[in-house]
Amino acid sequence: MAITDPTLFVQAELLRHAEQLKGFIVALVADRDAAEDCFQELFLTVTAKAADFTPGTDFLAWACTIARYKVLQHLERRRRHGGYLDPATIEALAGDADAYHDAWDERRKALAACLDGLAPAARRLVDARYVHGLAPAAIAAASGRTANGVSVALAKARDTLESCIGRRLAGKGG
Amino acid sequence: MRDLQALIDAYADGAITAADLQRLQERLRADAPARRAFWRRMRLHAQLGAACRAAGGRALAFPPPRRAAWRWPLAAAAGLLLAAWWLLRPAAELPSRDGRPLAAGTVVAGPALLRWEDGTSVELAGGARAESRDARRGPALLLADGSAVVRVAHRPAGRGFAVATPQAEAAVLGTVFRLAVSAGSTVLAVQEGVVRLGNPAGAVEVHAGDAATARSQAPPQRVGSVVHADMAHDDVQRLADDLRPGDTLVLHGTWSRPLRLVRAGLPGLPITVRGAEDALLAGDEALAEWRRGVDGLWHARAPWSMATAQRPLGQDQLLIDGQPASLAVWPAGAEAVAADGSAVLGESGGFVRVAIRLPGLPDGDLSTAFLRWGGHFGRIVARSGDDAQVLVHPGVPAPRAGDALRVLGAPALLQQAGMWCRSGAEVLLRLAEDDHPSAHRIALQRHRTMLELRGAAQVRVADLAIRAGAVDIDADSVGAELDGLQLLHPAAIGGTAVGIAAPGVRVRRLVVTGEGQRIAVDADGVVVEDCGAAVVEVAPGRRLLSADRGTAR
């Protein structure tokens, strides 16, 4: 479909990178409800500032800068709840965010293949955490394990997936 | 490194302690490799969420809560889908349904009523899912999704009934209460008796008619507060974003931005937003100081400081006595036909520059003009006589000879009385020779929708006046209520004063001014009462529950 004006253009770009941007916001707020609020605000701000974006420049970098300000604003309002990163940490993290965006698409593809190779028990755990959104404590309550045991098992599953992705990207199969 | 990874995982899983969060932050601030490790692990977390959902997930040994998926911006509502996680214990028996005992592991879908032998019952709401359990081996019931009302029979001393959530545990002895869990918090509403809601950070006793909320790492707090907001000074949107079930927000004064309600109440524990006598949501701003230019046009300063040229064409609307004025357009009647077009001149800032010939193009200032052909827009950036240069987004078919087209939004096009346009920070208007702006109320409408309910289930909005802006209720705002609203010239274009997409919405005592304004209903079970002259328009296949006044069609 033809994109006829800057507003629609940036909205389309935002949608195209939605997964990556949402993950970026979640990393900074670690609370999916708060992250969802921030993403909505990002959408509105990107729409309002559409004319500021110069086509041909790095959309993700532009959107991540706005997203970071949205997160800081949000955390300013929620500060009293505790449990969030403080602004100094977020500013420090911003300088190294290229490690997050690096090889995004290739790693995403490799991960899909690596998930299929995960042991069934680990896969159930990963699904409970990421599909059903359960915290380790909730998984523990439901499965009769300890929260610590669940956290350790989840960490192992993640490490396995990281190694598998690394092997695949290095061209050694997975 | 291993320790750092564990801290990062705990943070990402929402399971980090305050002390560990402090340690993690110190590492991240001091140490670049730690920051890069953080981002790499966060990339895995983000991609895992998407990849697992894309793969469809697997059934668990227990029924999983449907995690609120990322919803489209504006349609979202934090905490609306209550992914509840209930562990009921320690009833000694299995529950029964319709007199038949349920084996452990039976999955029950709401609406359903489960009973225990001692008279304790759990009423699952529609859409809720739970699994019965053998209490001797752990939880008596697992509510995986939705909400439920728990009625606990009076029990002998020492045999209490406890409901646990990831954030808190509710210990009861003979009472009726509702408990709902969203991703970050637990909300408890007590109908009868007393419930103690506690977690490691503290506890609160909640009596009948009251409610409380608990978050991880924070002491539980009572809710149901009444907040008064002076809209001239307070950030009303921020206050609205913080509302919890049972809260009331009372608005005073005038607010000139759209108000978006995204928090949901609970059945029996709604969120209320109420207007005081002077409360007004104003979607327009009056333009008072007009001066007549040498061009014969009336000029007024646009009333807001933002870079007006960056607002997409058609977002603002000039209202003269509540009626929309026409945006400057050429030609006024039938569309023009391009005599020659589509010569591509080159690229400019990511856009394509094309030449087009428009015989009869009015002389004068076209610097703010847009060209529209088919469904497409381009900006006119230069003209010489009948020749114009247009910037077109790459991928849009350039206008061709023979295309029907119009030019919009420039001073040179203001050739008829009642037409307007914007030029820089000014609004320009042409009136009839014997007319004067002071004879009218002239205002710019900046927002089509002034009150939006997005996932605002069980939210009640009452006694509020809204000028030059419509009300929109999305499909997730189930059971929302509008009572005693006054909509003054709500929608300049389109005529929809109230759009309703959620089932079970009630609209009462609505006063609407302006010609041909509609209440558009595209949901079932909507109640419209005492809404005067507003026309109720129901989408095909939908049924109103009740419309005792007004005109349904």
ipTM of the complex: 0.89
Of A27, A33, A132, the CB nearest to B64: A132
Chain B nearest-CA distance from A14, in A, is: 11
Question: B136 in contact with A at a CB cutoff of 8 Å?
Answer: no
Strand arrangement, sheet containing B96-97: B100-101, B96-97, B112-115, B121-124, B148-152, B175-181, B185-192, B211-215, B221-223
Nearest residue of A to residue B140 by CA position?
Answer: A142
Burial B250-266 (b: 16+ CB within 10 A, else e): bbbbebbbbbbbbbbbb
Total residue count of chain A as it appears in this document: 174
Question: Could you say which residues from 15 to 54 on chain A have a Cβ atom under 8 Å away from some Cβ of chain B?
Answer: 18-20, 22-24, 26-27, 30-34, 36-37, 39-40, 43-44, 48-52, 54
CB atoms within 10 A of CB B521: 26
Question: Could you say which residues from 18 to 37 on chain B have a Cβ atom under 8 Å away from some Cβ of chain A?
Answer: 18, 21, 25, 28-29, 32, 35-36
The two three-digit tokens of residue B128, written as one number = 């809720």
Per-residue confidence band for B432, with pLDDT thresholds at 50, 70 and 90? very high
**pTM of the full structure:** 0.48
The pLDDT of residue B476 is above 60: yes
Distance CA A44, CA A31 (A): 20
Judged by DSSP in three states, A130 sits in helix
Judged by DSSP in three states, B504 sits in coil
Q: Rounded to whole angstroms, what are the CA distances from B10 to B42, B65, B538?
A: 12, 21, 50
Cβ contact B223:B187 at 8 Å = yes
CA atoms within 13 A on the CB side of B289: 4
The pLDDT of residue B507 is above 80: yes
Mean pLDDT of B493-500: 79
Residues on chain B touching A7 (C-beta within 8 angstroms): 312
Mean pLDDT of A64-81: 81
The pLDDT of residue A124 is above 90: no
A161/B48 Cβ within 8 A: yes
The two three-digit tokens of residue B229, written as one number = 């907001």
Question: Could you say which residues from 39 to 68 on chain B have a Cβ atom under 8 Å away from some Cβ of chain A?
Answer: 39-55, 57-58, 60-62, 64-68
Interacting residues of B258 by C-beta distance below 8 A, sequence separation 6+: B281, B283, B447, B449, B450, B451, B452, B469
Cβ contact B259:B229 at 8 Å = no
Q: What is the pLDDT of residues B519-545, one digit of tens each?
A: 999 988 899 988 877 788 888 888 887
Distance CA B547, CA B553 (A): 11
A73-77, A168-172, B396-400, B490-494: range with lowest mean pLDDT: B490-494
Backbone angles phi, psi at B432, to 5 degrees: -60, 155
Of A24, A127, A141, the CB nearest to B58: A127
Of A82, A108, A129, the CB nearest to B47: A108
Element (DSSP H or E) covering residue B241: helix B236-241
Strands B254-255 and B481-483: unpaired
Average confidence score pLDDT of chain B: 76
CB atoms within 10 A of CB B334: 8
Cβ contact B148:B130 at 8 Å = yes
